[in-house]
Amino acid sequence: MDKQQLLDHAKIARERAYTPYSKFKVGCALLDGNGHVHLGCNVENAAYGPTNCAERTALFRAIADGVPRRTFQAIAIVGDTSRPITPCGVCRQVLIELCSPDMPVFMGNLSGEIEETTVGALLPGAFTEEDL
């Protein structure tokens, strides 16, 4: 699956977002080692703290479905932003915990702009299990 196809899946997931408060929809598509795509969207809550980002929804869904950590192949995120959307700090920490540091991260927006990086580049100096 190429990055555009993965971004297209993220756009589909974005439409499923539950955002009654911010109206800011984000979608994510996570490709596992078997070629399966796990979708995620942001899910808001009136208490704000329990709100979950699209990236964490996709990652947690895949882990719950039995996909072993560090076997993911790529992740794509899409939001209605002026530049390609980037994961928040919490999502960056979860990504470094569950994904390989060299895993590609495709970030896009609804205008079709795309930026590509890696999980490791998103969070230099990350706190990992080696630090415990």
What confidence tens digit (pLDDT) does each residue in 7-55 have? 999 999 999 999 999 999 999 999 999 999 999 999 999 999 999 999 9
Active site residue 116: no
DSSP 46: T
pTM over 0.75: yes
Query: Any binding-site annotation on 15?
Result: no
Query: Any binding-site annotation on 53?
Result: yes
Separation of alpha carbons 70 and 22, rounded Å: 32
CA distances from 120 to 14, 20, 64, 87, 95 (A): 25, 33, 23, 13, 9
Catalytic pick among 55, 113, 129, 130: 55
pLDDT of residue 37: 98
Separation of alpha carbons 51 and 103, rounded Å: 25
Query: Any binding-site annotation on 43?
Result: yes
CATH number of 85's domain: 3.40.140.10
- Number of domains, the chain: 1
Instruction: Quote the domain boundaries for residue 46.
Output: 3-131
